[in-house]
Amino acid sequence: MTASGYDAAYATWKSNPEAWWADAARAVHWDAAPQRIFDPAAGPYGRWFPDAALNLAYNCLDRHIAAGRGGQTALIWDSPLAGAQARFTYTALRDRVARVAGALSGLGVTRGDRVVIYLPMVPEAVISMLACARIGAIHSVVFGGFAAPELAARIEDAKPKVIIAASCGIEPGRIVPYKPLLDAALARSTHQPSQCLILQREAGPAALTAGRDLDFAAAEAASSAVAPVSVAATDPLYILYTSGTTGKPKGIVRDGGGYAVALLQSMRLIYGLKPGDVFWTASDVGWVVGHSYIVYAPLLAGCTTILYEGKPVGTPDAGAFWRVCAAHRPRVLFTAPTALRAIRQQDPEAALLRHHDIGALEALFLAGERCDPPTAIWAREKLGVPVIDHWWQTETGWPITAGFRGLGLFPAKPGTGGRPAPGWDLQVLDEHGTPTGQGATGNLAIRLPLPPGAAPTLWQDEAGFHRSYLSDFPGWYRSGDAGMIDADGDVSVMGRTDDIINVAGHRLSTGAMEEVLAAHPDIAECAVIGAADALKGQVPLGLFVLKSGVVRPADEIATELVALVRARIGPVAAFRDARAVARLPKTRSGKILRASIRRIADGEACPIPPTIEDPATLEDVARALGKPMLPPQ
């Protein structure tokens, strides 16, 4: 590993941040180039490129066509669920985007209007996002199949002029009707869109509501292409509501100018990709990862992006990812650690990998939640490529820490999230807001101002933005994650600050305990939470999933896990309880629902989170813990 290129880049940024971002901005096509790079007086912490103008859809599509690369493949759609594949060149994708933009314009959508997009992983999701960007409308993508109350809350908050939805989604073994969910959401909402565009899917067409619903394909076919609209760099590009919200949704705003600059730079420095390279982000457009690295970043960089409508296992087996890599030849794959754990659980020896040539793959990036070292080591050994864990958030829009393929720096230690990217002054703070220095666990925080691409505010709630992120440590952005920075500068993210538990006055990381459990050879994945205890305040409680084919008694393995934690962390951890479950409860993006597990363990009411992948997994946890599933009061 060489750090010289990274160290030089980070030092250059830190010595003159405005000059650094001014240089990065030259990669963007501006309608009005920025004359002022940063305005410290605007917004909660300042605004980037306050006097510039551009169009994101033009930067993603038209400029590559103008450069003579219109025949290059821009988007590959691969859907084992629909049994279909499709490819779109830059010209073909631009033409569809321009016509859908024309359809929206014909429905009265103009610059600054909102459009809610409620679609599965189909090409029309990418097309609709870019069509909004083309006319200066603000899109708000809601994860396909979200429950009606959650969809209604987002409609109420965003107040869209138009909603774009599908008739249905497809899951392994079942069809999920979206249109009834949309109808139910609109029945609950006081705000009503003027029109809904409904994408009819062959797997489950829907009846259209007269006077409100229009057929998406017919509207596109009847429309004329429209040209890109120039918008201010500080105009909102999209609103993305954070998962698991209750009450008033928290709408993360992303402005277009800083986002374009940051994403373009990240493709070069972090992912080490150039125009024409194939990039596969195995996520969903409903999450920030999908916004940034399925849609905008690859297309801004002139790459080919893969849109995958499938699962890591079950479509049809645990070799699904390797089939896609062999078929479409991505240089880089970016997915969540939970996908790898699911694959490893089903195929621990990676026997299915032998049936596929993945020789084009050069690196695997992981994000979503911390990857335990055993999973990272397993992936590196089986795939034969660097495995790079990196850390970021919906609010930040692009990686805070990473390994830097474009600078020759890769993380040396599995389990770490790499080093801060230029633009992020990351420190560990104690409870008083004082930097702790190397080796101490505390609050991961970023010195203001945040760089381009980070959220400038919340949708119509600047006070809420300040309260949520800036008030606890004045002058800093509070990430809400706990971690440490070691002597090499590598950052370990140990979980949310809520996952630092207090056991009889000792502050302990549940992430550190999970790392010990995950190292056991029979464990596929695990979670540790702090359960309430009358004597110690909190005590750790572990849940684990066994690898496929393990026949040893779960109680025997649980005893070994307790002994492992005692040996590696010490008796102070008070770890005495580990229970086996068939599956851990997770969000659809793969994050373990630790807060829900904690509520069940503490005997509290546990509402079903709207982002949960399978509600039955919470019932499994309740049975394993011998606790009732109490409904919300």
Residue 126: how many CA atoms within 13 Å on its side-chain side?
32
Angle of helix 616-625 relative to helix 594-601, nearest 10 degrees, comes to: 40
d(CA 119, CA 23): 37
- Same-domain status, 121 and 66: yes
Predicted local distance difference test score (pLDDT) of residue 247: 52
pLDDT tens digit sequence for 481-515 = 889 999 999 999 877 776 667 675 566 778 878 88
The more confident residue out of 58 and 442 is 58
Share of the chain above pLDDT 90, in %: 77
Which two structure tokens, joined as six digits, stand for 511? 């992430």
Residue 507 and residue 466 share a domain? no
Checking if the pLDDT of 541 tops 60, the result is yes
CA 133: distance to chain centroid?
A: 20
Of 285-294, 370-379, 441-450, 506-515, the one with minimum mean pLDDT is: 506-515
Verify that 477 and 507 share a domain, yes or no: no
Regarding whether 443 and 571 lie in a shared domain, the answer is: no
User: Residues 427-440: what's their mean pLDDT?
Assistant: 90
pLDDT value at position 609?
84
Q: Where does a domain end: 426, 461, 484? A: 484
Asked whether residue 350 is assigned to any structural domain, the reply reads no
| Position with higher pLDDT, 625 vs 591 | 625
Residue 436 and residue 512 in one domain: no
Residue 628 pLDDT = 85
Pairing of strands 174-177, 168-171: antiparallel
pLDDT band at 318 (very low <50, low <70, confident <90, very high): very high
Can you give the CATH number for the domain in which 577 is found?
Answer: 3.30.300.30
Indicate if 618 and 472 belong to the same structural domain: no
The pLDDT of residue 499: 67
Q: What is the sign of the dihedral through the CA atoms of 106, 111, 116 and 117?
A: positive
Which residue bears the tokens 């990686």? 399
In a domain, 364, yes or no: no
Residues composing the chain:
633
Q: Are residues 167 and 272 in the same domain?
A: yes
From residue 69, give the alpha-carbon distance in Å to each of 65, 333, 506, 516.
Answer: 5, 23, 59, 50
pLDDT by residue (tens digit) across 365-401?
999 877 888 899 999 999 999 999 999 999 999 999 9
* Position 104 confidence tier, pLDDT thresholds 50, 70, 90: very high
CATH of the domain at 201: 3.40.50.12780
Query: Is the domain of 526 the same as that of 564?
Result: yes
pLDDT of residue 245: 38
Per-residue pLDDT, 148: 87
The predicted pLDDT at position 8 comes to 94
**Statement to judge: residues 415 and 447 lie in one domain:** yes
pLDDT at residue 584 above 70?
yes
CA distance 285 to 104: 20
| pLDDT value of position 380 | 95
Q: What was the pLDDT predicted at 510?
A: 84
Which residues have CB under 8 Å from 620's CB, separation 6+? 581, 582, 583, 585
Tokens 């400029």, residue located: 63
Domain count, the chain: 2
Please write the tens of the pLDDT for every residue from 130-181: 999 999 999 999 988 778 888 999 999 999 999 999 999 999 999 999 999 9
Q: Are residues 473 and 525 in the same domain?
A: no
Phi, psi for residue 491 in degrees, rounded to 5? -105, 130
Per DSSP, which regions of 399-534 are E strands? 401-402, 419-420, 426-429, 442-447, 476-485, 491-496, 500-503, 506-509, 523-533
Range of the domain at 245: 4-310+390-484
Strand-pair category, 38-39 with 47-48: antiparallel
User: C-alpha distances in angstroms, 549 versus 208, 341, 553?
Assistant: 48, 15, 12
CB atoms within 10 A of CB 128: 29
pLDDT at 246: 42
Of the pLDDT bands very low, low, confident and very high (cuts 50, 70, 90), residue 244 is very low
Residue at which a domain ends, from 484, 517, 550: 484
Tell me what pLDDT residue 633 has. Answer: 53
Do both 204 and 255 map to the same domain? Answer: yes
Residue 251 belongs to some domain of the structure: yes
209: pLDDT strictly greater than 50? yes
What global pTM score does this model have? 0.87
Nearest-CA neighbor of 157 among 256, 233, 240, 254?
240
- Per-residue pLDDT at 243 exceeds 70: no
Band of the pLDDT at 624, cuts 50, 70, 90?
very high
Q: Which of 107-111, 494-498, 502-506, 626-630 has the lowest mean pLDDT?
A: 502-506
| Gap between the Cα atoms of 91 and 274, Å rounded | 19
Q: Which of 484, 501, 530 is a domain's end point?
A: 484
**241 domain-assigned:** yes
pLDDT of residue 310: 96
Q: What is the pLDDT of residues 189-204, one digit of tens each?
A: 999 999 999 999 999 9
170 lies in the same domain as 247 = yes
Taking the C-alpha atoms of residue 119 and residue 140, their distance in angstroms, rounded to an integer, is 11
Query: Looking at the domain assignment, is residue 359 inside a domain?
Result: no
- Any domain includes 204: yes
Q: Note whether residue 601 is domain-resident.
A: yes
Given a cut of 70, is residue 1 above it in pLDDT? no
- Whether residue 161 lies inside any domain: the answer is yes
Among 24-28, 225-229, 314-318, 429-433, which is the least confidently predicted range?
429-433
pLDDT reported for residue 506: 62
